[in-house]
Amino acid sequence: MRGGFPIDICQPGHYKTLLTIERESSSGSFAVGGTIKLITNIESMQEEANRLLEAGKTIVLVPTMGFLHEGHLALMREGRKHGDVLTISIFVNPTQFGQNEDFNTYPRDLKRDMNLAESVGVDIVFAPTAEAMYEKGYQTYVNLEVLPRYLCGISRPGHFRGVATVVTKLFNIVKPRVAIFGEKDYQQLVIIRRMVKDLNFDIRIIGVPTVREADGLATSSRNTYLSQEERDSALCLYQSLQLAAEKIARGTRNADELIDAASRLIRSHPDTRIDYVAFCDPETLENVERIDRPTLMALAVWVGKTRLIDNAVLKP
């Protein structure tokens, strides 16, 4: 019954089998039983994780905010390779959105997501409610000292505090041995790696390269906000990365010169506003002035009312 996801979603507090398909796990060591499960209750997820761990299974987690696209599916395909039970979380996390950001309008479609997750062999979808994740009286947050001060952290204060907090909670609920994140959110990936090291999580973090549309636009749930004209303008992010790569290949080393060239290119596209174009150290995210070693070029650009990000590590 591939692709035929039933409409009924289980009530909070329970999970039930939504599909029955025969499937072997890629490790060959464990037949999941041919089912994809939707779990919406935190305690049920923890109990399920405990059962799996007692049975000696390796849990892999792909955290998402849903409205899945090819980029997410690439994370899941990678996840499938690294353990017995592939779990994804779908949770639009309120604590990582600023007051004037798109939390309320962020696209949500659990039924569609379940179909897509099933198509790439996901075993469990964990989709808790915000009320359960942040119950009345909630007051504990995970904060990194330095990495959130750069790039997106400047225009999105509190964003990475929300990310680090929810990822910590997801780790404690799903109990994965491996977790997969996209390089598209490069700063997030660096922050999660640092947090896992600092807090001694026994979890391997795997980064997966950005998936792009045929013309180079990085896949993102927020691309659905774009009109056709904005979609055309949005290509300026990828074009800026390409332009910088070409200039570096031809010998340019000065970061300001590259930022100027990229900024001109971006401004030549209608309805664009630059949040930042930056060159930085790929691990510390500190500013880099000369490109004489692999350097992260990261940018955030508003296209109409949509803020898009992209990045690449460029080598001289």
- The closest of 213, 156, 150, 203 to 181, measured between CA atoms, is 203
Given the rule CB under 6 A, which of 26-34, 35-43, 61-69, 246-254 is the region that contacts ligand PAF?
61-69
Check if the beta carbon of residue 229 is closer than 8 Å to that of residue 198.
no
Applying CB under 6 A, which of residues 147, 167, 288, 314 lies at the interface with ligand PAF?
A: 167
- From residue 67 to residue 96, the character string flagging contacts with ligand PAF as x (rule: CB under 6 A) and all else as - is --------------------------x--x
Given the rule CB under 6 A, which of 3-11, 32-40, 58-66, 104-112 is the region that contacts ligand PAF?
58-66
One of 72, 82, 159, 269 is an active-site residue; which one?
Answer: 72
Work out whether strand 178-182 and strand 59-64 pair parallel, antiparallel, or are unpaired: parallel
- The closest of 69, 88, 73 to 222, measured between CA atoms, is 69
Work out whether strand 15-20 and strand 35-39 pair parallel, antiparallel, or are unpaired: antiparallel
CA–CA dist 82, 299 (Å, integer): 31
Applying CB under 6 A, which of residues 5, 42, 61, 63 lies at the interface with ligand PAF?
A: 63
Cβ proximity to ligand PAF: between 21 and 206 the closer is 206
The least distance separating ligand PAF from the CB of residue 66, rounded to whole angstroms, comes to: 8
Read off φ and ψ for residue 2, nearest 5 degrees.
-65, 135
Count CA atoms within 13 Å of residue 282 on its CB side: 12
72 is annotated as an active-site residue: yes
Residue 280 contacts ligand PAF per CB under 6 A: no
**Structural tokens at position 268:** 């030549």
Residue 163 contacts ligand PAF per CB under 6 A: yes
Residue 65 contacts ligand PAF per CB under 6 A: yes
What amino acid positions are annotated as catalytic residues?
A: 72
